[in-house]
Amino acid sequence: MLARIGFMTSLLVVLVLTPACNEPETTGAREPAAKSGGEPQYDIGWSQIRRDMPAADVLDYLGHPRDIRVDRVSTFWFYSDRGVGGPHVCFTTRTNQVLTWRPPESK
């Protein structure tokens, strides 16, 4: 019985501490939108994005996002006004590395 309780506790810890890229709550902290120096080179930049890539590298490839939202486990950089339905990159708030991303739709 004690082994089962230990396993369930370990499982709970893994589930709670595993970062997830869900849409942030509207009550989460919000940083002001960064100013963009122009439209990023989407064709080139988005194809370079990889999981665990540092935020500084994403900034080099895509430029400044239009909006940034931060919650406890995820940081979202939005490159349009459509939120998670549009092009965005999701980072872990703790390590600031890419978890998931959504490139713009092909034209």
Residue 98 carries which side chain, given as an amino acid letter?
V
pLDDT of residue 44: 73
Per-residue pLDDT tens over the stretch 12-69:
333 334 445 555 443 333 333 333 444 444 557 999 999 999 999 999 999 999 999 9
Q: Tell me the three state secondary structure of residue 30.
A: strand
- Tell me if 90 sits within 8 A of 101, measured CB to CB: yes
The DSSP output letter for 76 is: E
- Tell me if 98 sits within 8 A of 57, measured CB to CB: no
In this prediction, residues 85-104 reach a mean pLDDT of: 96
What b/e readout covers 27-47, taking b as 16+ CB neighbours within 10 angstroms? Answer: eeeeeeeeeeeeebebeebbe
Residue 3 carries which side chain, given as an amino acid letter?
A
